[in-house]
Structure 1
């Protein structure tokens, strides 16, 4: 791969030669005191460009006819300087002491940052390139306050979970995604290198324009567009590197395992199985066998260009990632074309489109990881004949290497996402825009299990093949009219619009056994036994339609006083006829105090703005047909005197035509401050976010014989504070910046309607005991169980302390919380929350003489993890060294019980299995070097940079598992680690960025 990249790069270097007549312009760039190194210098209207050297000097060959040069530098005002026949152009740059004119993308438009009344954060393209990943969500981690991003797993191609300002629903709490105007339910397909910027909309003033889909926040992604004028620009970026598991579990070795198994035997009245545990030594380390060092690479090629009437951006990217678990992998090819054109001075059209093809090897990671965790370390991986070792002899656990070897699960996915628009100006102050978007995806999966025999517990007597084909299409048509005008010191702009969206998806599946061979060329259903054929068909991804009317008005008086009023009315097929339409208004106010005549903060206090908002938004992510009754068919039976086949059906779920939106009412108050000529920027937001009508299956009497209907039964609050602090400084050849963000969050269920006012969820361990409780005063997904109070040390304690059932010396002792002298279910309590109290991110960069260093830290504190894999019945499985702290005589341990196979010690949800989820991680560290301008010009380059990057290099965590970011899916499974989640990787890559 590296050799091919070098050949590819050399080829484009030779192609990019200039044939036009050239003029050389040189000069020096300073800030009045020191020379500025690394200033970007470009010939406006062309692709020629360079950067200043260590002495602030530059020399640039520009095509004849070039009229002006552009100078840009971090922390300084951009300068456009007319050449006017000169060959020597010296520039004096001044620091950008004002950031209020930054343009921010908001819902259905753009606004200057100074005019915003809502809580909106922006991340630009450069900040997204610190981490080599195919997933935009993982690239955003730690960049924005109020935004929590949790990798779904460390598997190749894995996505991420997004949470904005906490969790306000029992269902899908993901935000709404808008990509170049197209409303989507995910952004896993986006190549981060194609992104120009991301706007994160957090409060009601910013999100109410999205109405019933804005309650969980909104992410607006704008991809890179073309540039007008010039001959175009070619950019190449590539990296390659390796991955390895970032952390391993501390499991028992063979000697420790045999010692504990002997104790289990003794405590059960059996003879010890191992005469000399010490002779067994370390034994087999299954983690060493299942994990590998794996490659990762990416190549990006892009072309930009255009003329006076428009531009284009064409890019292609190939990403490849093999897994640290052998047999898993992900490859993706992305092609994107964005183009725009002015047909008339008043008429514009454009297209934003992308095509994505990906293929994946989906290893049975959960089974492999559980096998490596449980398989005894005494068994050899393979015997002398090469057969897989039988790990079921001692622990009834499968051999993880066999699970790895016999797995065949491959998928291919195709996706096209795009939007085309037309804009027309009319009546001087009005603009009409029509945007049509389409998202179409198709997937195919082939899963095969061959005939094999490892043990009685790990075998497959008849091979079987299963195929699934699916598709989903989603179209959106939006029409808006914008108005913008100034009346002296008054500025008014607004929009009204109507939108339609429709989504449908379907899947077809089939299976057969006794395929004629196991070679991939034979894996077709037609080569299987027709008598074993199975099939299935159903809805894929949900079917719904939405009709919406929206409007917004912005008022600005002299840049000082700001008002934003917005509203949206949504009608959705996801809800019953009684509550099909909802109305979602908001209002936001702002005051730029530092623009008042009385303001005199001096250099110390540069700017100050306060803003506040209040509004209502909704959540329509409730699943398919939740308001209708469901019937389970196919319950056929033969009975009667003639033994005839009778067609049977039964009611599966009750209907609820009164199902309505989950509504979120949010109040936000923000303060924006700048100090020391805005080198230090501080933003603080206080928010109170209450969601009412949360949907859940309300308990009903068992005699009804149907699944509980979904009802609006609960109210939840998320309160918190967001803090952003950023500092930047430039001193001649040296510049640096550092920023930090913190989110303090409190999540609490305010009420639950219905009988008992509570429900239980989150199956735990092998016993299936519910480990989370929903009740007033608890956080969503709060862990629920008994508090550990020690270990029964002797007969006196057995007679003194209350017991949970029949217990013996060495058993865990649980706290009698209500003091009634018994330990019963009434003594269970809140053991912790999976939702962190504090989320932080720290990002910084240092630049000197062409060398740059960038870093990013992420962390979270105040949440707990339920380590469910430790709570499985011992069953002579292997375990962690956690079990070495055990009772084997009075005084030996007051935290770990005696070694047993079953009972309250291993099946009871208790604080014994609760661990801290606190961590801080060096998410990224990148060291780069940019070639001096005089050298890059000789090879006809605008820029050439090489770098080395590290991801997840260091993690300080209190949790004993692979990764403290645990989210297996569902709000009531969050934070429960059952040992099946693919570990995250430590990644080191080497890369280059070049432009011509």
Structure 2
């Protein structure tokens, strides 16, 4: 067992007393806040036609305190006598109303199609969009819930500039790889997720219908408040909340649909396979083994393993509140069968959000999610279906499974290898308290918790299909995983607005603690195969195996931010965060991370006030430094592992031992990322046309990398040092057009981003780092070196095929090539082809990431369509290269060389050998354009709904991943994965599904 607790020095203990002191201080002075003179104000908010508007934000100017209107457009709030109320709602112009001694204030809002983002969620608060100095993109709930996905991040594809989201797999419940403005480190490059104030590493548990908005923070001005946790960007998720003084509202969202494989790989049929297999035998000097005329189409193994699979989703919600409390409750059931048989994902999510007003000064609340999911993983049939001979049938006439050697029979795998289940129980949420005092101060204490318990079990029965596909002893394996993430944050906020000035100050202390433990075991030779026996105690004691490991780390942080606005024109943001991580030794435990940003609302200048052409114009710039500590647990400490036992002596006595299995470097320190951003925001024609343009640079220094050491040292890992440096730069562009003509409204949007990734340094010796697929000579196909992008493909460039003996005698060769083999370029011109002739073959990093969308509404009908894509990236077709036996062939082999002049690109048919080196033969264009989603809906009229007491009712049809335009020959050009040093390798992914749904949305 491995378990190593982080060192806790006096700083960590001191932080607890500081936090406690701040909390007690705030409670002591809360009596002052009770003494404030507040008056009740109520009213109704209507649109220009006199209809009430539910959900309008009513906020006390200069604060984040307020309420929202109920279903009848009514509100009620306690405010200071000299306050000003600010009324905001999506699609309407903002109205400010001084109290002026009034107890009733009715407001009429005018439509403003361009003003869609008046307030934006930022780190530890909200802010006027006009006051923002950072690069922040926002996506609203209606664009998030439209896609039938289990992972909320997938709904951001093609919607946010500067963000690349790649599905890791098409398997049910599979997650995504998220990259914000490229890859800035050789370690974990995933962003931080913040859900209602809880800091997390993933949001796979979220029900999309629970999400109110998602903000993506991209530059230092926006992310620096999260310090090292935000080194790779931050995604803030705000879930739906209830409303004070609001009637209970019931919502129903449901859809059902069918999934199918979006694209199959073009493999040869049985007749063509027999022909190619015969040629392969002849090419190695053997006789043909098949009579080609005996075969036709044969078995399409892809058709055998794939199916049309159902997908279902039901969400029920209720929200409302009294004058003292509000609630939002939702229950979601998501069930996705996989397009590969024997794969499934089932999830139940319960969310409860509450707020309780103890007084006008004190509010308590909670945001809680409880999640259960069950996942069945497909039994590894995809690779075998790709390689299995089409000349074989799945079963014999007697019903037994066919021996499909050298590949396992996928049909037998479904029966014998499908007992593989994972259950996960998770609770995620936070409890918070807000205390207002001294008129302008707000103290918040926020305690968050993320608990996950996962158990897995697999059972394999006794079976025999062939000598290479058998299991002579049944076996059971079980595993348990426990994760604990505890967060405690205490922040103090000061807000004041006077004359032409607006200021907001934030200070706080936050600490977070993580713990994880795994436990696994297995036994063989159970007395039977009934599920009641699938437990370790049923197996033979002498066959048992077990493993157990644990680890934890903690972080302590101090934060400060100042926002200042003068005349709504000049903007300033300054942020400072000091982070301490137990992953580092005492000397380098803490790092300081500042940022500063300036903005200029040019549209507020007097000479622009009396014109109708330009409605917004702002320039902003930021600079900041952010840290990163995302290395594995205890890379900064040595690890000693027990159970290193041996037998010694004449009497063969067992001696128990332990050994050092991980070396450590106590002097490693924080990675540091320095970012700068220059942005422009603009709007034309009363905000019908809006846009943002950003140019950014992002340089990461002192990247934590492992350095190779001799094997005789005995360490299982490479010690970590600070060595490498990487730079990313590029542009982000967002454009939106919205307009309305009578009953017809329409919109169009486009996002585009470029990423230029360059490695500046990789440490002492500047030796390249290799990864990815292995060629026949043992060379890895991915390389990271100075002056190039991270993880680019590196191998031989092909320049043709040896056609005859004349070519063999005149063209440089790598080895004993014969006619029909590939010609690799002699790049250095020394007359020989060897390791020194390898060149850069492409990169998995796109030159351009883009997306566009359009939609319209007309008399109850609506249409929405979303596209996304990439340009300039390559994919390495590793599954085609991996060929150590005779397997089935992709259809490209039909263009192979069979004699002089027949082909100068596809070599003769061989298994392994010269033609399977890492080369551009396996590098394909990964650019694509995908119709991500299209949806057509109809909203029934209010007149018809009022008769049945329904507020709204909408039906829709939608299609997801409807079509993909790409040159790539695999299942999908989206190749995800978390290893930044070896991305873009397709070793046989679970295919992406095309989905068609019918659904409803209703509220009562």
Q: Same fold (TM over 0.5)?
A: yes
- Is the Cα contact below 8 Å between 1:844 and 1:855 reproduced in 2? yes
Q: Within 2, Cα distance between the matches of 1:536 and 1:232?
A: 51
Q: Which residue is 2:370 aligned to?
A: 355
Deviates further, 553-562 or 401-410? 401-410
- Find the aligned partners of 1:888 and 1:902 in 2 and give their Cα distance: 18
Report what 1:320 is aligned to: 335
The equivalent residue for 2:601 is 592
Which of residues 892, 900, 913 in structure 2 aligns to 1:903? 913
Q: Structure 1 pair 197/890, CA: closer, same or farther in 2 (3 Å)?
A: same
Give the equivalent residue in structure 1 for 2:729.
Answer: 719
Q: Mark the CA change 1:565 to 1:44 in structure 2 (over 3 Å): closer, same or farther.
A: closer
Match of 1:121 among 137, 157, 164: 137
Cα deviation digits, residues 566-591 of structure 1 (max 9, x gap): 01001111112221111100001000
Q: What's the offset of the Cα at 1:600?
A: 5.0
Distance change >3 Å, CA 66–CA 465, structure 1 → 2: closer
Q: Secondary structure at the match of 2:1000?
A: strand
Q: Which residue is equivalent to 2:756? A: 746
2:986 aligned with 1:989:
no
Report if aligned partners of 1:136, 1:190 keep a CA contact under 8 Å in 2: yes
Work out which of the residue numbers 430, 448, 455 in structure 2 matches 1:419: 430
User: Matched residue of 2:247: which SS?
Assistant: coil
How far apart, in 1, do the equivalents of 2:563 and 2:462 lie? Answer: 68
| Aligned residue number for residue 737 of structure 1 | 747
1:450/1:65 CA distance change after superposition, 3 Å: closer
TM-aligned CA deviation for residue 967 of structure 1: 2.0
Report the Cα distance in structure 1 between the residues aligned to 2:584 and 2:577, rounded to whole angstroms. Answer: 17
SS of the residue corresponding to residue 543 of structure 1 reads strand
1:150 paired to 2:166: yes
Inter-CA distance 442–97: structure 2 relative to 1 (3 Å threshold): closer
Counterpart position of 1:309: 324
Equivalents in 1 of 2:868, 2:153: separation in Å?
Answer: 14
1:782-861 mapped onto 2 (5 Å cutoff):
782-861=792-871
Select 1:469's aligned residue among 480, 502, 506.
480
Q: Counterpart of 1:519?
A: 530
Q: Does 1:195 align with 2:221?
A: no
1:225 CA drift (Å): 0.4
1:547 is aligned to: 556
Given that 2:183 and 2:189 are in contact with CA atoms closer than 8 Å, whether structure 1 keeps it comes out as yes
CA distance in 1, matches of 2:73, 2:690: 41
Q: 1:3-62 deviations in whole A, cap 9, x for unaligned?
A: xxxxxxxxxxxxxxxxxxxxxx999966xxxxxxxx97447899xxxxxxxxxxxxx997
Partner of 2:924: 915
Q: Is the 8 A contact 1:633 1:648 kept in 2?
A: yes
SS at match of 1:598: helix
Residue pairs, 1:647-726, within 5 angstroms: 647-706=656-715, 707-726=717-736
**Larger displacement relative to structure 2 (697-706 or 102-111):** 697-706
1:331 counterpart = 2:346 = yes
Q: 1:51 aligns to what?
A: none
3-state DSSP class of the match of 1:859?
strand
Q: Any residues of structure 2 matched to 1:124-523 within 5 Å, and which? A: 124-275=140-291, 277-364=292-379, 367-392=380-405, 396-407=406-417, 408-523=419-534
Aligned to 1:952: 961
The TM-score normalised by the length of structure 1 is 0.90
Deviations 1:584-604 (A, max 9, x none): 000010000000113257222
1:212 positional shift: 1.3
1:752-800 alpha-carbon deviations (Å, 9 max, x no partner): 1123432211232676531111110121111110101111111111111
Deviation for aligned residue 1:701: 4.1
Alpha carbons of 1:62 and 1:397: their partners in 2 closer, same or farther (altered >3 Å)? closer
Separation of aligned partners in 2, 1:485 and 1:91: 25
Q: 1:560 is matched with which residue?
A: 569
Partners in 2 of 1:44 and 1:286 — Cα distance? 54
Partner Cα separation in structure 2 for residue 189 and residue 440 of structure 1? 12
Q: Is residue 951–residue 1003 contact of structure 2 (8 Å, CA) maintained in 1? A: yes
How far apart, CA to CA, are the structure 2 residues paired with 1:231 and 1:703?
72
Which structure 1 residue ranges, 5 or more long, are not aligned? 1-24, 31-38, 47-59, 82-89
Q: Distance in 1 between matches of 2:539 and 2:711?
A: 43
Q: What is residue 56 of structure 1 aligned with on the other side?
A: none
Find the residue that maps to 1:635 and give its secondary structure: coil
Match of 1:936 in 2: 945
Measured against aligned partners, the alpha-carbon deviations of 1:947-989 in whole angstroms (never above 9, x if no partner) come to: 011000111011100010112441123100111x111100001
Does the CA-based 8 Å contact 2:681-2:691 persist in structure 1?
yes
* Contact 2:773/2:985 (<8 A) preserved: no
> CA-atom RMSD, angstroms?
2.5
Counterpart Cα distance in 1 of 2:545 and 2:342: 27
After TM superposition, give the deviation of residue 410 of structure 1 in Å.
Answer: 0.6
How far 1:751 sits from its partner (Å)?
A: 1.1
- Rounded Cα–Cα distance in structure 2 between residues aligned with 1:916 and 1:896: 17
Contact 1:231–1:306 (8 Å) recurs in 2: yes
User: How far apart, CA to CA, are the structure 2 residues paired with 1:580 and 1:983?
Assistant: 44
* 1:114–1:74 CA distance, 2 compared to 1 (3 A): closer
What is the alpha-carbon distance in structure 2 between the residues aligned to residue 153 and residue 349 of structure 1? Answer: 41
Secondary structure at the counterpart of residue 594 of structure 1: helix
Q: Secondary structure at the match of 1:331?
A: strand
Greater shift after overlay, 629-638 or 457-466? 629-638
Secondary structure at the residue paired with 1:186?
coil
Cα deviation code 1:140-175 (max 9, x no counterpart): 211110111111111111111111000011121000
Residue pair 1:101, 1:114 contacting (<8 A) in 2 also: no
Tell me which residue corresponds to 1:49.
Answer: none
1:776 aligns with 2:786: yes
Task: Indicate how the Cα distance of structure 1 residues 912 and 65 shifts in structure 2: closer, same or farther if over 3 A, else same.
Answer: closer
Does 2:875 correspond to 1:862?
A: no
SS in 2 for 1:467: strand
Tell me the secondary structure at the aligned position of residue 997 of structure 2: strand
CA distance in 2, matches of 1:153, 1:188: 14
**Distance in structure 2 (CA, Å) of the matches to 1:639 and 1:660:** 43
Structure 2: state its 5+ residue gaps. 1-43, 58-69, 78-85, 98-105
Deviation at 1:652, TM superposition (A): 2.6
Distance 1:265 1:574, change over 3 A: same
* CA shift for structure 1 position 723: 0.2
Alignment-derived partner of residue 890 in structure 2: 880
3-state DSSP class of the match of 1:518? Answer: coil
Look up the SS of the partner of 2:385 in the other structure: helix
Q: CA shift at 1:351, angstroms?
A: 0.8
The 3 A distance-change label for structure 1 pair 935 and 413 is: same
- Identify the range of structure 1 (611-620 vs 690-699) with the bigger mean alpha-carbon deviation: 690-699
- Which one is further off, 644-653 or 555-564? 644-653
Is the contact between residue 627 and residue 657 of structure 1 (CA under 8 Å) also seen in structure 2? yes
| Partner residue of 1:761 out of 761, 766, 771 | 771
C-alpha displacement of 1:640: 3.3
Q: CA deviation at 1:215?
A: 1.1
Q: In the superposition, relative to structure 1, how do residues 827 and 64 fare at CA in structure 2: closer, same or farther (>3 Å)? A: closer
- What CA distance in whole angstroms lies between the structure 2 residues aligned with 1:676 and 1:801? 65
